[in-house]
Chains A and B, each alone.
Chain A
Amino acid sequence: MAATEVEITRDGLDRAEMNINMGPQHPATHGVFRMVLTLDGELVTDVEPHIGYLHRGSERLSEDENYQQIITLFDRLDYIANFNNEWVYVRAVEKIINAEVPERAEYLRVILSELNRIASHFLFYGTYGLDTGAMNPVMIGFRERERIQALFEAVSGARMMHNYFRIGGLKDDVPDGFVPATRVLLDQLKAGYDEAKNTLTESEVFIERTAGVGAISGEQALDFGVSGPVLRASGIDYDVRKNFPYSVYPELDFTVPVGKHGDCYDRYMVRMLEIEQSLSIIEQALDKLPEGPIQSRVPRIIRPEAGDVYVNGENPRGDLGVYIVSVGHHATPYRLKIRGPSFCNLMALATMMRGSYIADATVILGSLDIVLGEVDR
């Protein structure tokens, strides 16, 4: 007697896809991001991102502001990495008016921006821990970021919206004792970094949750215009500081961590290793920090010649570009366009998310480390 074969199919089941709306009021969307997930049970079959809840019209506002006033708008783009944003903008204006920047100012800019990168990555570390469900990382991440912000407050007077970089230099020289204070801070940050590493990097549950999740290949990443740690995690060695060297970065010795698999774990790991590199960059910059002026002579009201300029820089989130069009002898730019790394990285979201679990959706979104202030501008 032949054995009867029973074929198990899911045809008889009444199956329906479910749309679920995540955000803008959702704890894991990192601000006011909204995504509509199409679910098949626990699996995400499609995702539709909706942005624009934090749109403030920064680009349009820039057209009505003096060149110096626009710095404050850049503070509010990527509000986790204010110095880095200011820097790209002031570099753009310096390029269009051919302004010199004193060497001391350049080194201070490097120190502050790299500190800001560390602060940003520590914030990522904390919130990413939360995204995977762990509580401790956020406490460690915020503790370390708070130390950096205390230094920033001493330097610029503000914890976040510094408005400290000026076209052709800096607002003020750093306060007395800045260098020793920064060295103490670096030691603290190293200890904090080790603690952070011990908590998540080798945690098996964390590896289970992130390894192989939301992977994209290098070619895909390039097609989407992804940049920063997300691109480097996919194995593409692209860092504006190395590929288009600016400021005093050529004189500083650092490597660019590059991943291989392009999954969430690699993105996490690239950022963690970047903290190490930034710490070393700051140490070198502190050693080389020269005495001297911190501001070159630039006109009180800047009226550049007609022309356009595009300048980009390596932000914690990726390649931030600023495009300025000047019609000539006008105190405001004719057009100012921002290429936001968060915005471009977000383009790859749907590709990463298809076929993953709902639980992965927040992990993948977290691994992109978007800041809505810069996505929506």
Chain B
Amino acid sequence: MTLFDLIFIGVVVFILFNFVLGSVLAVIYAERKVLARFQQRVGPSRTGPFGMFQTLADAVKLLLKEDMKPASVDRFVFYLAPLLLFTPIFMLWVALPLSDGFVLSDLNLGLFYVVAILGLSIVGMVLAGWSSNNKYALLGGARSAAQLISYELPLILSVLSVGILAQLNTDRPFNLDAIVDAQGAVPYIAVMPLAFLLFFVGTLAETARIPFDIPLAEEEIVGGPLVEYSGIRWGVFFLTEYAGLMTMAVLGAILFLGGWTGPGSDRFAWLQPFWLGAKVSLIVFIVFWIRAPLPRLRIDQLMAFAWKVAIPLSFLNLLLVASTLFYGWDLWVLTLLNLAVIAVAVYGMRWRRGRRLSQFRQRWAQ
């Protein structure tokens, strides 16, 4: 490796880092604005045009704050934990293509790489909880370990089904670039809506968003693993949370929404990042939307949903995709099967909800 290579890597990492951080600041600003609109508020409006620099100002404030460390923490691990959380998210971006061929490292097994690296970030949360020597943090760390491991399964299984299906149209089914090409005109959300739903639920849980933000649960364990962190170390946790959301949204757009393809993207290559951005924004917006009205689930309900609903469904989904390939069914058969499973699942949930609601209506019939 020559000196030039090193400098080149440095420059690339610098650009990547700033790109991700910049987009994370934008996402945080967007969340504040979107949530505010959902709640008849204005949101940030003072710093810069339309309050756009508010998150930047907050980040600067966090940078300038004193780096506090309580006396009783395990110092080495306490300092290590934010890095362990932070690094995997940026490692993911190495393999995520933003348009056709525009990727730092075009890995043949990009999908496996992404899934493997995703699992790493749990370590940071658990270590942060453990090293803080605080009971709230410990509870949060244990919760995040339980939750993230449980929801890793439906997430991985649904991602795996994409890889299996992509074999139809490409000989590199685990390459993210090839997956987008393999989708062609019909994105995989139309072929496998069930897999997308499972992926979406997994994303919510993986990024600890409401209604699955149990590891952080401000009203119960006051922020969980983050409770002893302050200043920029806390900021790193916060940025990582949103960077994780962004990353998962990009992954979801690539795997299920057809990535950067869209009207005109073949003729004008410069349109591709915009198409991807639009699809990512859609996913991120839905995540914000879900956050506004919903309460938080309890840990036992969350685990029950993972193990009783999400994981069986994701195995069923895998089975359906595998059968489609094995028996050579047309793709619309798979779509129909998927829709049937969703219909049954939704009907089951609605039936349960209806039964419960009618109980409550009877309870309050005057």
Contacts and interface: CB of A to CB of B under 8 A. Distances in A.
Interface string B326-366: 00000000000000000000000000010011001001101
A135 B296 CA distance: 10
Interface residues of B, number: 36
Contact of A208 (B40, B41, B136, B297): B297
Given A18-B135, A133-B211, A133-B213, A359 B299 contact: yes
A199 B172 CA distance: 47
B8 interface: no
A129 B219 contact: no
Nearest to B223: A27
Contact of A255 (B35, B294, B364, B366): B366
Interface in A135-193: 135-136, 139, 143
B360 A209 contact: no
A205 B211 contact: yes
Interface in A202-234: 202-209, 211
Contacts of A209: 295-298
Contacts of A143: 40
B221 interface: yes
Q: Please indicate which of the listed interface residues B35, B294, B357, B360 has the most CB atoms of chain A within 10 Å of its own CB.
A: B294
Interface string B282-306: 0000000001111111111100000
B39 interface: yes
A273 interface: yes
Nearest to A199: B293
Contacts of A312: none
A358 B136 CA distance: 11
B135 A135 contact: no
B220 A361 contact: yes
A260 B361 CA distance: 12
Interface string A344-363: 00000000000001111110
A325 interface: no
Nearest to B218: A27
A42 B141 CA distance: 12
A130 B210 CA distance: 12
B38 interface: yes
A134 B294 contact: yes
A132 B39 CA distance: 17
A211 B357 CA distance: 11
Contact of A206 (B214, B295, B300, B363): B295
B68 interface: no
B107 interface: no
Contact of B353 (A130, A199, A204, A257): A204
B300 A357 contact: yes
Q: Please indicate which of the listed interface residues A27, A255, A257, A261 has the most CB atoms of chain B within 10 Å of its own CB.
A: A27
Interface in A38-77: 42
- Determine the interface band of chain A, counting residues with CB < 8 A from chain B: 35 or more
Nearest to A357: B298
Nearest to B221: A358
Contact of B41 (A139, A257, A260): A139
Interface string B211-231: 101100111111000000000
A140 to B, nearest CB: 8
Given A204-B356, A205-B211, A359-B299, A260 B363 contact: yes
Given A135-B291, A143-B40, A269-B364, A208 B296 contact: no
B139 interface: yes
Nearest to A259: B363
Contacts of A131: 219
A20 interface: yes
Contacts of A362: 219-220
Contacts of B364: 269, 273
A294 B129 CA distance: 62
Contacts of B293: 134-136, 199, 203
A252 to B, nearest CB: 18
B295 A133 contact: yes
Interface in B188-242: 210-211, 213-214, 217-222
B294 A203 contact: yes
A28 interface: yes
Contacts of B353: 204
A26 interface: yes
B360 A265 contact: yes
B305 to A, nearest CB: 10
Nearest to B350: A204
A257 B210 CA distance: 32
A132 B295 contact: yes
Interface in A116-136: 129-136
B210 A133 contact: yes
Contact of A203 (B35, B295, B300): B295
Contacts of A204: 353, 356-357
Contacts of A269: 363-364
Interface string B127-150: 000000001100100000000000
A133 B208 CA distance: 13
Nearest to A43: B300
A40 to B, nearest CB: 12
Nearest to B138: A18
Contact of B220 (A139, A255, A266, A358): A358
B85 to A, nearest CB: 23
Interface string A6-33: 0000000000001110000011100000
Given A139-B39, A360-B298, 18 more contacts: A27-B218, A27-B222, A28-B220, A42-B299, A42-B300, A132-B295, A133-B210, A135-B292, A136-B38, A143-B40, A203-B294, A205-B296, A207-B357, A266-B363, A269-B364, A273-B364, A359-B220, A362-B220
26 contacts: A20-B135, A20-B136, A26-B222, A27-B219, A132-B295, A132-B296, A133-B296, A135-B35, A135-B292, A135-B293, A136-B293, A139-B39, A139-B41, A200-B295, A205-B211, A205-B295, A205-B297, A206-B295, A208-B298, A211-B356, A211-B360, A266-B363, A358-B220, A359-B217, A362-B219, A362-B220
Q: Which 10 A-B pairs have the closest CB atoms?
A: A133-B296, A132-B295, A139-B39, A134-B295, A28-B219, A359-B298, A133-B295, A136-B293, A20-B135, A205-B295
